[in-house]
């Protein structure tokens, strides 16, 4: 959660006295009191830990504090590389494990709103910004409880305050703070908490416009709203169909320019809505939006001759275009050539999959932005189309486990002429 304080424009030279000198924590006084965690007397009470981009006052045990500082630096490196702007000064943080470990003089250093947020087991970032219209100076201070990834979430707000003087509208600011909280180096997979994933999968789909254009939603409103904002920002940030537009949109929002989600993505509204619903439906730990990006470019055709329709299906991707357009009642023969592996070091299997059915070639029909129920195929056989649509195929595996798959299978599909449906003869009156 963030709170932005933007004083009236004054000369920037005043900032050094009024802004950058404020809220400086003095050296910590050790207090020998038991916290919720076991701590040695030397570690009891809040201590100040420093790194290149963070000055963190916390009552966490020394090892945990240093580990958190390392995670914060990793997160900062990732978000700074993504947005292409450095943090202008160390981010000051109060991270609380147990308030009973904090002496009264330490609590008095905290902003009352920040302390209230900690008492509510949440977090708050206070950002002061002074601008003359062309330049700005800013200072952010983070107040956070030590668990649930709250320090990382708030640190993203603080970074944005220092780097841009702004965090953007609520949906973007809170959504990207959640994305940043979960980011891991060289890892594009879903790392959201299990309770967030289960909430999203078991709830009615929140319409996109309710996320990006809802004036009633505010920062700090509810973790459920944060979950939907995260889902949209994660999808747009990692899905190959939308990521190229998402970063420029975000930079425009952070710069305070007039930018609108629908102006940027209006021509892709149906595609985003479809992939957003599919993402929520299949969401699980390890899910990769980049590997599951929908193929909107491949051309499909109906059967016009005995020549086969050929596609190559990768084991490490989601639904992939077969290139075959079917009509309800048509029967097709299919045959597969090749093998794929479902994990490094596992024995390769054919399109029939293993003895548990993992790795079996699976199909689905796409028609007018709706999907049929998936159905199993295999290495060879026939199937009869249950509806009109474009046929998509994939290697049958858990959605969160396809990233370590490897191999490609060649699939040939031909119309079964013997089983072809012929129109009934007209009946005599």
39-94: per-residue pLDDT in tens? 444 456 899 999 999 999 999 999 999 999 999 999 999 999 999 998 989 999 99
Considering the domain boundaries, does residue 388 fall inside one? yes
Q: What is the pLDDT of residue 18?
A: 31
Q: What is the pLDDT of residue 30?
A: 28
Query: Could you tell me the residue range of the domain that residue 55 belongs to?
Result: 2-282
Taking the complete model, does pTM exceed 0.75, yes or no? yes
Task: Answer yes or no: do 257 and 322 share one domain.
Answer: no
Task: Answer yes or no: do 140 and 14 share one domain.
Answer: yes
Question: Of the residues 247, 282, 317, which one is the last residue of a structural domain?
Answer: 282
- % of the chain at pLDDT higher than 70: 86
Task: Answer yes or no: do 17 and 107 share one domain.
Answer: yes
Task: Answer yes or no: do 137 and 234 share one domain.
Answer: yes
Considering the domain boundaries, does residue 426 fall inside one? no
Q: In the chain, how many domains are there?
A: 2
Question: Of the residues 266, 282, 298, which one is the last residue of a structural domain?
Answer: 282
Poorest-pLDDT segment among 231-240, 313-322, 392-401, 412-421: 412-421
Considering the domain boundaries, does residue 372 fall inside one? yes
Task: Answer yes or no: do 249 and 165 share one domain.
Answer: yes
The CATH code of the domain that includes 409 is: 2.60.120.430
Kindly list the distances between the CA atom of residue 78 and the CA atoms of 12, 72, 83, 140, 410, in Å, as whole numbers in the listed order: 30, 10, 9, 19, 38
Whether 22 shows a pLDDT value over 50: the answer reads no
3-state secondary structure of 354: coil
Diameter of the chain measured on Cα atoms: 101
Task: Answer yes or no: do 248 and 377 share one domain.
Answer: no
Task: Kindly report, residue by residue over 328-385, the tens digit of the pLDDT.
Answer: 999 999 999 999 999 998 999 999 999 999 999 999 999 999 999 999 999 999 999 9
Considering the domain boundaries, does residue 297 fall inside one? no
State the pLDDT confidence band at 134, using cuts at 50, 70 and 90. Answer: confident
% helix, strand, coil for the chain, step of 5: 35, 25, 45
- Alpha-carbon distance of 28 to 402, in angstroms, equals 48
Poorest-pLDDT segment among 242-246, 327-331, 379-383, 415-419: 415-419
Q: What is the pLDDT of residue 28?
A: 28
Considering the domain boundaries, does residue 302 fall inside one? no
Q: What is the pLDDT of residue 216?
A: 85
**Mean pLDDT computed over 91-115:** 95
Task: Answer yes or no: do 206 and 323 share one domain.
Answer: no
Task: Answer yes or no: do 273 and 326 share one domain.
Answer: no
């Amino acid at each position: 959660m963030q709170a932005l304080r933007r004083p009236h424009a004054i000369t920037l030279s005043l900032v050094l006295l009024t802004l950058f000198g404020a809220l400086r924590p003095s050296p910590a006084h050790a207090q020998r009191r038991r916290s919720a965690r076991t701590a040695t007397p030397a570690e009891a009470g809040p201590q100040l830990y420093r790194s290149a981009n963070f000055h963190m006052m916390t009552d966490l045990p020394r090892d945990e504090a240093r580990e958190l500082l390392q995670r914060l630096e990793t997160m900062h490196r990732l978000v700074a590389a993504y947005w292409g702007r450095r943090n202008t000064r160390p981010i000051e943080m109060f991270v609380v494990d147990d308030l009973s470990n904090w002496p009264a003089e330490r609590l008095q250093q905290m902003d009352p709103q920040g302390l209230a947020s900690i008492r509510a087991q949440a977090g708050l970032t206070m950002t002061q910004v002074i601008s003359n219209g062309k330049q700005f100076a800013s200072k952010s201070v983070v107040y956070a409880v030590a668990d649930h990834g709250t320090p990382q979430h708030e640190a993203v707000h603080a970074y944005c305050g220092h780097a841009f003087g702004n965090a953007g509208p609520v949906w973007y600011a809170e959504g990207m703070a959640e994305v940043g909280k979960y980011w891991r180096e060289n890892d594009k997979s879903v790392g959201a908490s299990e309770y967030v994933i289960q909430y999203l999968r078991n709830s009615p789909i929140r319409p996109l416009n309710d996320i990006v254009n809802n004036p009633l939603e505010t920062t700090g409103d509810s973790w459920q709203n944060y979950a939907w904002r995260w889902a949209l920002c994660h999808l747009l940030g990692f899905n190959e169909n939308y990521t190229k537009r998402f970063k420029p949109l975000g930079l425009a929002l952070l710069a305070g320019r007039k930018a609108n989600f629908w102006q940027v993505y209006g021509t892709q509204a149906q595609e985003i809505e479809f992939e957003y619903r599919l993402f929520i439906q299949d969401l699980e730990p390890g899910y990769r939006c980049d590997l599951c990006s929908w193929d909107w470019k491949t051309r499909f055709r109906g059967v016009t001759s005995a020549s086969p329709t050929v596609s190559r299906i990768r084991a490490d991707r989601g639904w992939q275009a077969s290139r075959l357009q079917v009509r309800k009642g048509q029967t097709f023969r299919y045959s597969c050539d090749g093998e794929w592996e479902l994990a490094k070091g596992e024995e390769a299997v054919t399109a029939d999959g293993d003895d548990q059915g993992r790795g079996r070639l699976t199909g689905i029909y796409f028609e007018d932005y709706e999907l049929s129920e998936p159905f199993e195929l295999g290495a060879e056989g026939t199937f009869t189309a249950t509806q009109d649509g474009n046929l998509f195929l994939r290697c049958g595996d858990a959605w969160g486990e396809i990233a370590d798959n490897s191999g490609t299978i060649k699939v040939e599909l031909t119309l079964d002429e013997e089983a072809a449906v012929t129109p009934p003869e007209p009946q005599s009156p």
